[in-house]
Amino acid sequence: MRDPDDLDPPTDRIPKDATPSVASTLSVIRPGITRLVIVESPFAGDVERNLAYCRAAMADCLRRNEAPFASHALYTQPGVLDDQDEDQRARGILAGFSWRSCADATVVYCDRGISTGMAKGIDHARSIGSPLEYRWLGAPWSHPLGERF
């Protein structure tokens, strides 16, 4: 079997006047991936544990044949943006919001509660009509109170 990265997209099968959804286009380009999703999970606080949780959430998305994007895990890497600097944090949040219109849904991972940043993402998703889905991974990720923090 050939490596999926070596496959040529069968663009000759797409009608010239077709305007397929992002998900259907993606399924032609990368068979097996059904949706693009924005991941909302906590970052601030216990950053190390929250990043581990974000990685587990992205793995969960991939098991569901989704292509996850978690801006807070990407933009906060050393040398990109400083989450402690309010201007840089705001720039990162806006950059992450810019991707939402490309996604098929926003998936909110709730085990560790809903952070202030996540609440902003949820509000933004609602404001542009992005479908929201709430998910839990279960133990060992559960936040003791499962509440906003």
- What are the chain's domains? 33-135 (3.40.50.450)
3-class DSSP assignment, residue 106: strand
Residue 49 makes CB contacts below 8 A (sequence gap 6+) with: 112
Q: What local confidence, expressed as pLDDT, does residue 16 receive?
A: 54
> How many CB atoms are located within 10 Å of the residue 123 CB?
9
pLDDT tens by residue, 33-56: 789 999 999 998 899 999 999 999
Query: Is residue 78 a contact partner of residue 86, using CB atoms and an 8 Å limit?
Result: no
How many residues are recorded in the chain? 149
pLDDT tens by residue, 17-29: 544 445 455 555 5
Tokens at 138, concatenated: 């279960």
Cα–Cα nearest to 21, from 79, 76, 140, 102: 102
- Compute the average pLDDT of residues 62-66: 94
- As a whole number of angstroms, the distance between CA 89 and CA 83 comes to 5
pLDDT surpassing 90 at residue 134? yes
pLDDT tens by residue, 65-121: 999 999 999 999 999 999 889 999 899 999 999 999 999 999 999 999 999 999 999
